[in-house]
Amino acid sequence: MKEKGIGRIIFTEREIQEQVSKMAKMLSLDYDGKDPILIGILNGSFYFMADLTRYMTIPLSIDFLSIGVYPEVTKKTGIVRFNKELDLSITGRHVLLVEDIVGTGLTLGYIYQHMEAFKPASLKICTLLDNPAERLLDIKIDYRCFVMPDEFLVGYGLDYEQKYRNLPYIAAYRPEP
């Protein structure tokens, strides 16, 4: 049974798994011998990060961070805060930020700048979905699985009001009035 508001499937479960597997192979080659730390940006990257790291074939470390963006406060003050900081040191390490979607680039730009202060050996970005149509900040995306259509999506970690993250596919979503 299809949920209300769920529209056409944009990326099937199979398409997602094939692309994530390809990305993992590329990352395993690029980071071979570098003992990378993959940092997932919570909550959206959870499913992507889990599948990506399961497909990777090299030793790696995993950590997560969470940032709080409060639309009413952030618009007025620009203030965001980290709800969960890193548990591992990234100084001198090869770091890969793993994100579900890169849209405007503003939040990821803030996170990237914060991570640079810890002086990692390298710092790159990997995203499941890239939405260049929304980009406000020129931020380099080193690895992307899909360029997404400019519409609201749910599934495979993406949510609407904290729901639908668990769908195994990615679909268009329109809230019911």
CATH number, residue 49: 3.40.50.2020
E-only strand ranges, 12-157: 37-42, 61-69, 80-84, 94-102, 122-130, 143-147, 153-154
Residue 106 and residue 111: Cα distance in Å, rounded? 9
Residue 86 and residue 76: Cα distance in Å, rounded? 27
Answering whether pTM is above 0.85, one says: yes
Residue 25, domain member (yes or no): no
* Mean pLDDT across 32-39: 97
Residue 169, domain member (yes or no): no
Residue 133, domain member (yes or no): yes
Residue 64 and residue 102: Cα distance in Å, rounded? 17
Residue 106, domain member (yes or no): yes
Residue 1 has pLDDT above 50, yes or no: no
Higher pLDDT, 2 or 25: 25
Closest-CA residue to 155 (of 175, 169, 176): 169
Residue 82, domain member (yes or no): yes
**In the chain, how many domains are there?**
1
Higher pLDDT, 79 or 41: 41
Residue 28 and residue 8: Cα distance in Å, rounded? 33
Residue 58, domain member (yes or no): yes
Q: Contact 118/94 with Cβ under 8 angstroms? A: no
Is residue 29 helix, strand or coil? helix
Range of the domain at 116: 34-151
Higher pLDDT, 150 or 153: 153
Residue 57, domain member (yes or no): yes
Closest-CA residue to 157 (of 98, 84, 109): 98
Confidence tier at 42 by pLDDT (50, 70, 90): confident
**What pLDDT was estimated at residue 169?**
97
Residue 173, domain member (yes or no): no
Q: What is the pLDDT of residues 61-120, one digit of tens each?
A: 999 998 876 655 545 555 667 777 777 999 999 999 999 999 888 888 889 999 999 999
